[in-house]
Chain A
Amino acid sequence: DTEVTQTPKHLVMGMTNKKSLKCEQHMGHRAMYWYKQKAKKPPELMFVYSYEKLSINESVPSRFSPECPNSSLLNLHLHALQPEDSALYLCASSQSRRDRTSTDTQYFGPGTRLTVL
């Protein structure tokens, strides 16, 4: 079952709010990802966790703070966001096989549509 869930589906927040996005997968995957996608653009990678350790941070502003409490969960904590941060935030997971020749397909969740006022 290739399912990644994300909550909430929609989020509206003010620039002074603190909120969190949540992502969960039960496929036994050991890599999880956060992407940001603006309208009519491809997804942009933000963070990668591999075996619960942050392995990639694509120079994302500190107002975005990722957390991986365990191998099934991934959070994205939001604080003091700007209106330009409004976007679709996608979570993905993959098996993260250590064999570098493997497919290691990323499976995505339905996303959270974030609006910052």
Chain B
Amino acid sequence: AQKITQTQPGMFVQEKEAVTLDCTYDTSDQSYGLFWYKQPSSGEMIFLIYQGSYDEQNATEGRYSLNFQKARKSANLVISASQLGDSAMYFCAMRGFKAAGNKLTFGGGTRVLVKP
């Protein structure tokens, strides 16, 4: 069984500041992938960044970086230089590589509101 926990239901961040969204996970799989998605109020789930369990370096994609601490089972998302358009719900998800049908397990989400 897999479980994703996002402990921050909501947070405010000042425009141009960095923000860290917490994600911890639990799995018995030795190999797995971790994903972050952004969901604006329009509804679309937008893929942001991926980290594989055997990747030695933390993933980065533009203003997004993933602070992966395997021993602590955490995969926090860092958004640098926040913009108003970053206001959205953010979901952490994981897939064990044994998972049938590429099933993703999602956390409960963190709502971010960027203030001007």
Contacts and interface: CB of A to CB of B under 8 A. Distances in A.
Contacts of A100: 31, 97-98
Given A42-B108, A43-B106, A101-B31, A106 B47 contact: yes
Q: Which of B31, B37, B103, B104 has the most CB of A within 10 A?
A: B104
Q: Which of B44, B108, B109 has the most CB of A within 10 A?
A: B44
B101 A48 contact: yes
A43 B106 CA distance: 7
Contacts of A111: 43-44
Given A42-B91, A90-B45, A107-B47, A50 B31 contact: no
Interface string B24-41: 000000010101010000
B101 A106 contact: no
A50 B46 contact: no
A43 B45 contact: yes
B45 A108 contact: yes
Interface string B89-102: 00100010110111
Interface of A: 2, 31, 40-43, 45, 48, 50, 55-56, 88, 90, 92, 94, 96, 100-101, 103-111, 113
